[in-house]
Amino acid sequence: MHFTTDILTLFDKGWALVTAGDISDFNTMTISWGGMGTLWSKPVATVYVKPVRYTHEYMEANDLFTISFFDEKYRPALGLLGSKSGRDCNKVEESKLTPVRIGENLVGYVQAAHTLVCRKIYSQDLELAPMPEAVRETYYEKEAPHTMYIGEILGIG
Ligand SMILES: Cc1cc2nc3c(=O)[nH]c(=O)nc-3n(C[C@H](O)[C@H](O)[C@H](O)COP(=O)(O)O)c2cc1C
Alpha-carbon Rg for the chain, nearest whole angstrom, is: 15
Distance 85 CA to ligand 1 centre (A): 9
Using left for φ > 0, alpha for ψ between -120 and 50, and beta otherwise, residue 27 falls in beta
Tens of pLDDT, residue by residue over 16-47, are 999 999 999 999 999 999 999 999 999 999 99
Residue whose Cα lies nearest atom 16 of ligand 1: it is 82
Count the Cβ atoms, other than its own, within 10 Å of residue 23.
Answer: 15
Alpha-carbon gap, residue 107 to 117, rounded angstroms: 9
Pairing of strands 147-156, 114-125: antiparallel
Choose one of 9, 10, 31, 123 to mutate for the ligand 1 pocket test, by most ligand atoms within 8 angstroms of C-beta: 31
Residues with CB under 6 A from ligand 1: 15, 27, 29-33, 48-50, 53-55, 79, 82-87, 146
- Strands 64-69, 16-22: pairing is antiparallel
Q: What gap in Å lies between CA 9 and CA 34, rounded to an integer? A: 10
Which residue puts its alpha carbon closest to atom 18 of ligand 1?
A: 82
Q: How many residues comprise the chain?
A: 157
Q: How confident is the model at residue 53 (pLDDT cuts 50, 70, 90)?
A: very high
Q: State how far the Cα of 115 lies from the Cα of 128, in Å rounded to an integer.
A: 32
pTM of the predicted structure, to 2 decimals: 0.97
- Per the CB < 8 A criterion, the answer to whether 37 and 44 are in contact is yes
**Could you identify the atom of ligand 1 that is nearest to the CA of residue 82?**
17
Task: Indicate the DSSP class of residue 127.
Answer: P
SS3 at position 70: coil
CA distance 109 to 16: 11
In CATH, 7-156 is 2.30.110.10: yes
- Contact between 74 and 97 under an 8 Å Cβ cutoff? The reply is yes
pLDDT band, residue 2 (cuts 50/70/90): confident
Q: pLDDT tens digits, residue range 77-101?
A: 999 999 999 999 999 999 999 999 9
Domain ranges of the chain: 7-156
Q: From ligand 1's centre to the CA of 50, what distance in Å?
A: 8
Distance CA 148, CA 125 (A): 6
